[in-house]
Amino acid sequence: MNEQNGGHNAGLLSPGELQSLLAKLTDILEQENRQLDARKPRALQETAQEKNRLVAIYNQQMRLIAASPDAFRKASDARAVEALKTASRSFHESLDEHFRKLSTVKSVTEGIVKSISAEVEKQSRPAPGYGANAHLRPAGVAARQTSAATSIALNRVI
C-alpha cells in the first residue's frame, strides 16, 4: 500500500491491495460486532482510529475507480478481480450486520433516555391541591401556586 505522512496518496491500489484493505476492515467490523454482542459498546473506541483511516482510504479508492473504471480493469487480471469481489461481498455483509447492531444500540439508548426523562417529569410534577372552597384545583394552577419552574439537565449535577 502506498502511504505517506500517515495518510494515503492518490494512487490507485491493485486488486490485491484493495482485497487486503477490505479484509482488515472486515476484521475490525467483526471484532466490533462481537463487542456489541457482549454489550461492550465502549470497546469500539479501541478500533475507531484505525477503522476511520481504512474507511477513508477505501472511499478514496472507490472514487478513483468510479472516475476511471477502464484503467482499473486494464491493470487487473480476472482472478484478482474475482477475489476482490468476494472480499467486497464479505465486507458488505459485515457492514450490514454492524449497522443493524449499532441501530439497535442507538434505539435502546434513546428509549432509556426518554423513559428517564418521562419519569423525572412525572415525579417533579406537583400533586393537584385543594382550593379554599374545598374543590380540587387544576394541576397547572397548583403548580403555579406551589413551586417555581424547573428544568431538566441531563449529564449534569443539579
Q: Where are the alpha helices (DSSP H) in the chain?
A: 15-37, 45-67, 69-74, 78-124, 139-146
**Does the pLDDT value for residue 30 go beyond 60?**
yes
**Per-residue pLDDT averaged across 111-119, rounded?**
91
pLDDT digits (tens, 9 = 90+) for 45-55: 999 999 999 99
Q: What is the CATH number of domain 3-124?
A: 1.20.58
Share of the chain above pLDDT 70, in %: 78
Who wins on pLDDT, 15 or 1? 15
10-14, 114-118, 145-149 — most confident range: 114-118
Q: What is the DSSP letter of 130?
A: B
pLDDT of residue 14: 87
pLDDT of residue 143: 47
Q: Where do we find the cell 465502549? A: 42
Please report, for the chain, the start and end positions of each structural domain, with discontinuous segments joined by +. 3-124
